[in-house]
Structure 1
Amino acid sequence: MDHMTMSKQTARNQCVGKKGSVASAVSWEHQEGGVVERRRFDGLLLSLSNRIKNASSRDLEMEINDGLKDVVAYFGVDRISLWEFTGDGKEAGLKYFFSTPGAEPPRETVRHDLIPYVFEKLNKSEMVEVSRLEDLPAAAEADRQYLHELGIKSFLIIPLIVGGIHRGALSLAVMRTKYAWTDVDIVQVQRIGTVIANGLDRKIAHHLLEERIRFETLISDISARFVNLPHEMVDREINDALRRVLELFKVEYCVLFEINKEEGSACVNHISYAPGVLPLPEHVDVRGLYPGAYDLLVRQGKHICKTKLEDVKGEVDRANNRAMGFEAAINIPIPSVHPLMYVITLATREKRNWSEEFIPRLRQLGGIFVGALIRKRTETILRESEELNSAVLASLNDHVVILDRDGRIIEGNEAWERFVRGNGGALGSTPRGTKYMGVCRCSVLDGDPFAQTALDGIHSVLDGSRELFSLEYPCHCSTEERWFLMRVLPLKREEGGVVISHGNITERKKNEASLQQAYTEIQRLKEQLEAENSFLRKEMLQEQGIADIVGDSEAIKVTFQQVAQVAPTDSTVLVQGETGTGKELVAQAIHNTSRRRDKLMVKVNCASLPSALIESELFGREKGAYTGALTKQAGRFDIAHGSTIFLDEIGELSLELQSKLLRVLQEGTFERLGSPKTIHVDVRVIAATNRNLAEEVKKGTFREDLFYRLNVFPIHVPPLRERIGDIPALVWAFVNEFTDKMGKKINKITKRDMENLQRYAWPGNVRELRNVIEHAVIVSSTDTLNVRLPDNGKPESKAVMTLEETESSHIRNILQLTGWRIKGEGGAAQLLGMNPSTLYSRMLKLGISTRQ
């Protein structure tokens, strides 16, 4: 660790201390060097965020590795590692790491039994921070021994939440010296972890989308290849399709087992292997060697999805899987003609987390194979005999009907019979001999938009102009929406005719819609991420002033108590107070202690935006929404989705915009300018004003319904004249801020100047005080602050009150806050820390009415 890094660490430790508070951490940022370090970190975070956001899926791993190197350089640690948990959270595998020269690289995997204390903390989404191994609790003795063996002296590890799932952890380790972690370090590492987690979330979503598209493309291609496939090519095409599935999922075995349920045995007629794996025997005693799997697959008809060998139930099953080298597998049963059934199996020699969403599609793929095999057998039988095999037709899930050359129904399978009985009407009266074309013509007259297309397609196959006709069409009923794929094939016999099958493709249609929805959601998240990134840059440039609310007076303590009460909720808050009292700081404090604190609070000053643009700023706009709208723009409510929006100067909104804001508060919905599409958002609203909105309602300039929506939890920020005791602390906070910026040293303020500052009325409140102190620092040429009050420095005598007047004013303010409620939970007596009877006595003595 170089000298500069050690000096930074030592300075932080001396300022904050190992267990310093968040306030101490903030104070560090205002001490000498703190601003520079903060800018360095903001630059690091922005660089890391941009690199991960702009990286392609192929380059993301390289960008994360380079980013980890920069993080190590910034903190001056010896090693940083990114871990991924297994499905049960009992083991972590190394995904990325960077070590400084001379530092040992981390191990490839870490098990729960080696560091049980750390795993239990991470599984509860809690971080673990250890500056010295001796600080670990007695329950972490195993962890201490393991870390000591690795030569680790200090470490910090935080959980990573990706897509709402506990995916892994980010750890920093120091080997050469002990490292005192500060709260600033922890917050910074958590922010870095959030950026990396968002990047990994995007990678997983992109990878899943690509995998879905590749698999859907494969399914479509295989389906097309099996349409009208000659029976002599079925086995070859099934093996080729299994090979393609094996390559897509990167497994060692892809098998279609044929199981005889009466004998309990399986034949391996169709299989694809990866190079270098053990071949499977042609016949397997499934019932004897894998009794647990046989029960689930054959008897219960359930699929089996195992991520590792330990998940296999039953010692016999587990031992035989181990003997074959199987670590993870997915098995999906496919029904067929009794006594046969099929199981499509994907197996690998490594642990694998299987996505459940692929199971229906694999089942559909198995159905294609089984259907082809059944058709193969059927065609063989038809070649030998012209008799129709009703048993084969009955075994198909598709609705199959056979027509002669005149279009009359000569046979239909059981699935077709059930279908026509369930739909009633014309379909319900289609016995053998019925003209199928007549049913189609009735549907044309009834206005069915697909009926004429179907009718023309059937005619084209009957007259020999086409070899195949297919059509996807809806057939909705009162309880569900259904889609079918109609296929028309010529009947290969002298008399002619056609075979028409109707396969239910509702699940495929739903999957296609889900896929499109997922793609749309990814686009929306990308737009939101870009908007948040842009907003972050603006916020970083605009951020200034102290980060905490300074004060210890009784008046400000009431505000603190209200902030603590409302922050954990999602309730709307109305912050009221005179200009310059710090309403924005109160809003920020509510956000920072809420469950939405991981995202930025979006700020809007309703008075600073032109009336013509404020609607597009709040709700966004589409390209071309108005003259000059050359690009699409996300609104502030879009950006604040999942976070908090702060509407300052809410009283300045026009009545038209007040109605739109009311709708967002009531329903969480709005439309962008130029778009009819309704957008749903989850946003917490904090509003602020220096006006008396109740009076504005009476004047008709502010909507009454909006006022009640905003006034769910009002907070009054007291003016500075009611916080005279806080003025010295505020003065010194501003002095420290401006002397750091200007490079001056001021450590004295005369008693008379301080008394004048406390006697002055401060109509501009804290903002005016800050400006006065900034001016005083500028003009001070010695180490004593040279204070010049406004109006020639003459304090207003009206600011001086007797003790009794001060007490009366404070009691009245508390009564206003509680709506003149004196007793009970949240009453004035409780807030003042007094017995209700004592408060009644004081009010009587001071001449304060007990009713408003």
Structure 2
Amino acid sequence: MEKPGGSGNRGGATQGESNPPVDCSSCGPNSSTLEERLRFEMLLSEISSVYSNLPVEEVDKTIESGLQRLGEFLGADRCNLVQFSEDGSRVLVFHSWIHDDAKPDPGFIAPDHNLFPWFAKMFHLGKVVQFSHLDDLPAEAATDITALLALRIKSQVSVPISVGGHVFGTLSLATVRSYRSWPDELVPRLRLVGEIFANALVRKQKELQIRKAFQQIKELNEELAADCTYLREEIDLNYDVHHIIGQSLPLKRVLAKIQQIALTDTTVLILGETGTGKELVARAIHAASQRRDRPMVKVNCASLPANLIESELFGHEKGAFTSAQVRQIGRFEFADRNTLFLDEIGELPLESQAKLLRVLQEGEFERLGSSRTLKVDVRIVAATNRDLEEEVRKGRFRQDLWYRLNIFPITVPPLRERTEDIPLLINLFVNKFGRKLGKSIRRIPAGVMKSLQAYDWPGNVRELENVIERAAINTVGPSLQLLDNLKSSLVTEKTAAPRLTLEEAERSHILQVLADTNGRIEGPKGAALILGINHSTLRARMRKLGIHIRRISDAD
């Protein structure tokens, strides 16, 4: 006996086939021989058995093979399985087998509800449609009869199939070369076969949905895993991301600039000496931006080898270079609709600067080993401790890239220019390391505080933090014991800046803020809002201090 899909023949029975077609009447209650009925039952059993562990990729061709075996066994000319849409208005899937001598005319269109309105009505009522001659159909099936004539169908039986209590579709047998009767006993067997086919299709569709869901979950997991990497970096930060500690005038100017630029997508260039807290400023900009829902993506351009930095920034395809065993997305692609912090941008090799410029200008790039152009929406915040203008003059940094980065520069002041912030930072670090070491350090001796404030801090806040950590480790008891001999600093001691009167300090601060706002007094970006006073109060103070807008550039 032929097995499903064994012959691959989509036409009539091949010559010498051992199982000749059986007239449908032999399957009814008046079957001529018990042998023929047993053969039919065996066929149904074989068709059913192949679907138990069938891979979803083979479902469609196995159904069509089963339709062929069923049609050939029962001597039909056409056999088809139709699946309806959930609302029953459309045909979604159409599987069929057609005998070689019963091919449709050119221009044949698969059955549709618009062609068979009466049939569709009967099917959705769960009723079987069977006729030996078109004259057996009622007058209200006139539209359906016209379509049947066009398809050259003489006799047909169509059995509605239900899955889960809903009409799934129909299984139909038809003849075009002769008239045929369809015994009632055939209907439940056809319904059984149809339900086997239907359940296989439902299983296939559900498995494909599950595969799609798993693929989406996999992609989300990859994104979450990458996010977690950055979140772990966030947790390990030495500074509080949301608070920059200090009350000095230079630091307040930095905070004012952060407030000005955060909600825009403008590129920011953060300048300052090593250890001043440039990354903290970058994180503060991101935390106040419209892209704050995801952790800021960071790349340290100085820590990557020159031959890997392009792969890190732009990603690579599998096989792009010797060690590229898998495809990897780059930081730009990962930072789409996010903020990308390019730390130590001055260390970027010249050959990589051209590609970076293109991304900044056009928002597009290609992974290494790929010709497909990717577009991204990335907000760039860059930082450097180098004088980029001098680097441009020396030919070590592209001038056009510097122009593109230098749209809104923010200079972070060194610690020696904000000495009034040192006590606040010391208290922060003493509490931090006291908790970390399990010590209760409640007092900072005046001599220790004076020594810390008098030091020049060439390593800035980072050096201060290291000194306090060593002191906390060295401390026994409630008073901080300084371990470092700060007087031995290699930095030349500088003459203390002359102290200003309160009026002089106020005038200097107002002038600087007005310079930062280009002379704007009122509005959301005005000096009054940054200074935290009413604009009329600011104008009165300006008159008292002899500050005139037109002279700001000269005074500054």
Q: TM-score category by the smaller chain?
A: 0.5 to 0.7
Report the equivalent of 2:38. Answer: none
1:806, distance to aligned residue in structure 2 (A): 5.7
Report the equivalent of 1:378. Answer: 150
Map Cα deviations across residues 39-86 of structure 1 (whole Å, 9 max, x no partner).
Answer: xxxxxxxxxxxxxxxxxxxxxxxxxxxxxxxxxxxxxxxxxxxxxxxx
Aligned partners of 1:745 and 1:783 also within 8 Å: yes
Report the equivalent of 1:563. Answer: 258
Q: Give 1:644's aligned amino acid.
A: T
* Match for residue 269 of structure 1 among 104, 122, 138: 122
Q: Give distance in 2, aligned partners of 1:717 and 1:767.
A: 13
1:678, distance to aligned residue in structure 2 (A): 1.4
Q: Give distance in 1, aligned partners of 2:438 and 2:281.
A: 30
1:594, distance to aligned residue in structure 2 (A): 2.8
Q: Secondary structure at the match of 1:569?
A: coil
Q: Secondary structure at the match of 1:645?
A: strand
Q: Give distance in 2, aligned partners of 1:220 and 1:573.
A: 62
Q: Secondary structure at the match of 2:327?
A: coil
Report the equivalent of 2:500. Answer: 803
Q: Secondary structure at the match of 2:487?
A: coil
Q: Give distance in 1, aligned partners of 2:264 and 2:126.
A: 60
Q: 1:379 to 1:280 in 2, by over 3 A?
A: closer
Q: Give 1:634's aligned amino acid.
A: I
Q: Give 1:377's aligned amino acid.
A: L
Aligned partners of 2:262 and 2:286 also within 8 Å: yes
Report the equivalent of 1:608. Answer: 303
Map Cα deviations across residues 141-189 of structure 1 (whole Å, 9 max, x no partner).
Answer: xxxxxxxxxxxxxxxxxxxxxxxxxxxxxxxxxxxxxxxxxxxxxxxxx
Q: Secondary structure at the match of 1:791?
A: helix
Report the equivalent of 1:237. Answer: 80
Map Cα deviations across residues 633-656 of structure 1 (whole Å, 9 max, x no partner).
Answer: 322122222322110111221232
Given the two structures, how large is their TM-score scaled by the length of structure 2? 0.59
Report the equivalent of 2:225. Answer: 533
1:590 equivalenced with 2:294 (yes/no): no
* Match for residue 750 of structure 1 among 439, 442, 445: 445
Report the equivalent of 1:488. Answer: none
1:709 equivalenced with 2:404 (yes/no): yes
1:636 equivalenced with 2:331 (yes/no): yes
1:600, distance to aligned residue in structure 2 (A): 2.4
Q: 1:843 to 1:654 in 2, by over 3 A?
A: farther
Q: Give 2:358's aligned amino acid.
A: R
Aligned partners of 1:576 and 1:716 also within 8 Å: yes
Q: Give 2:333's aligned amino acid.
A: D
Q: Which runs of 5+ in 2 are unaligned?
A: 1-54, 93-110, 130-139, 156-175, 178-207
Aligned partners of 1:619 and 1:636 also within 8 Å: yes
Q: Give distance in 2, aligned partners of 1:223 and 1:561.
A: 75
Aligned partners of 1:601 and 1:646 also within 8 Å: yes
Q: 1:583 to 1:233 in 2, by over 3 A?
A: farther
1:577 equivalenced with 2:349 (yes/no): no
Q: Give distance in 2, aligned partners of 1:697 and 1:715.
A: 19
Aligned partners of 1:553 and 1:723 also within 8 Å: yes
Q: 1:811 to 1:698 in 2, by over 3 A?
A: farther
Q: Secondary structure at the match of 1:268?
A: helix
Q: 1:810 to 1:244 in 2, by over 3 A?
A: closer
Q: Give distance in 2, aligned partners of 1:675 and 1:693.
A: 32
Report the equivalent of 1:790. Answer: 486
Q: 1:590 to 1:237 in 2, by over 3 A?
A: same
Q: 1:757 to 1:746 in 2, by over 3 A?
A: same
Report the equivalent of 1:835. Answer: 538
Q: 1:566 to 1:731 in 2, by over 3 A?
A: same
Aligned partners of 1:760 and 1:795 also within 8 Å: no
Q: Residues 288-327 of structure 1: matches in 2 within 5 Å?
A: none
1:625 equivalenced with 2:320 (yes/no): yes
Given the two structures, how large is their TM-score scaled by the length of structure 1? 0.40
Aligned partners of 2:268 and 2:405 also within 8 Å: yes
* Match for residue 763 of structure 1 among 429, 448, 458: 458
Q: 1:578 to 1:267 in 2, by over 3 A?
A: closer
- Higher relative CO (CA 8 A, sep ≥ 6), structure 1 or 2? 2
Report the equivalent of 2:14. Answer: none
Q: 1:529 to 1:637 in 2, by over 3 A?
A: farther
1:544 equivalenced with 2:237 (yes/no): yes
Q: Give 1:803's aligned amino acid.
A: L
1:738, distance to aligned residue in structure 2 (A): 0.7
Q: Give distance in 1, aligned partners of 2:224 and 2:275.
A: 28
1:660, distance to aligned residue in structure 2 (A): 0.9
Q: Secondary structure at the match of 1:686?
A: strand
Q: Give distance in 2, aligned partners of 1:597 and 1:767.
A: 26
Q: 1:521 to 1:674 in 2, by over 3 A?
A: farther
Map Cα deviations across residues 499-529 of structure 1 (whole Å, 9 max, x no partner).
Answer: xxxxxxxxxxxxxxxxx9xx99996984574
Map Cα deviations across residues 310-331 of structure 1 (whole Å, 9 max, x no partner).
Answer: xxxxxxxxxxxxxxxxxxxxxx
Q: 1:631 to 1:243 in 2, by over 3 A?
A: closer
Q: Give 1:378's aligned amino acid.
A: A
Q: Which runs of 4+ in 1 moved over 6 A?
A: 213-217, 219-226, 229-232, 243-246, 255-261, 339-342, 519-525
Q: Give distance in 2, aligned partners of 1:237 and 1:553.
A: 83
Q: Give 1:706's aligned amino acid.
A: L
Q: Give distance in 2, aligned partners of 1:243 and 1:651.
A: 61
Q: Give distance in 2, aligned partners of 1:220 and 1:704.
A: 66
Aligned partners of 2:451 and 2:486 also within 8 Å: no
Q: Give distance in 1, aligned partners of 2:289 and 2:116.
A: 61
Q: Max radius of gyration: which structure?
A: 2
Q: Give 1:237's aligned amino acid.
A: N
Q: Give distance in 1, aligned partners of 2:306 and 2:142.
A: 70
Residue correspondences, number:
403
Q: 1:693 to 1:589 in 2, by over 3 A?
A: same
Q: 1:746 to 1:267 in 2, by over 3 A?
A: closer
Q: Residues 157-172 of structure 1: matches in 2 within 5 Å?
A: none
1:690 equivalenced with 2:385 (yes/no): yes
Q: 1:522 to 1:786 in 2, by over 3 A?
A: same
Q: Give distance in 2, aligned partners of 1:843 and 1:759.
A: 34
Q: Give distance in 2, aligned partners of 1:520 and 1:566.
A: 41
Q: 1:621 to 1:241 in 2, by over 3 A?
A: closer
1:584, distance to aligned residue in structure 2 (A): 0.9
Q: 1:772 to 1:520 in 2, by over 3 A?
A: same
Q: Secondary structure at the match of 2:328?
A: coil
Report the equivalent of 2:426. Answer: 731
- Overall identity of the aligned pairs, in %: 43
Q: Give distance in 2, aligned partners of 1:379 and 1:772.
A: 92
Q: 1:691 to 1:270 in 2, by over 3 A?
A: same
Q: 1:539 to 1:244 in 2, by over 3 A?
A: closer
Q: 1:637 to 1:849 in 2, by over 3 A?
A: closer
Q: Secondary structure at the match of 2:281?
A: helix
Q: Which runs of 5+ in 1 are unaligned?
A: 1-212, 250-254, 272-278, 284-338, 343-369, 384-490, 493-515
Q: 1:849 to 1:601 in 2, by over 3 A?
A: closer
Q: Give distance in 2, aligned partners of 1:341 and 1:715.
A: 82
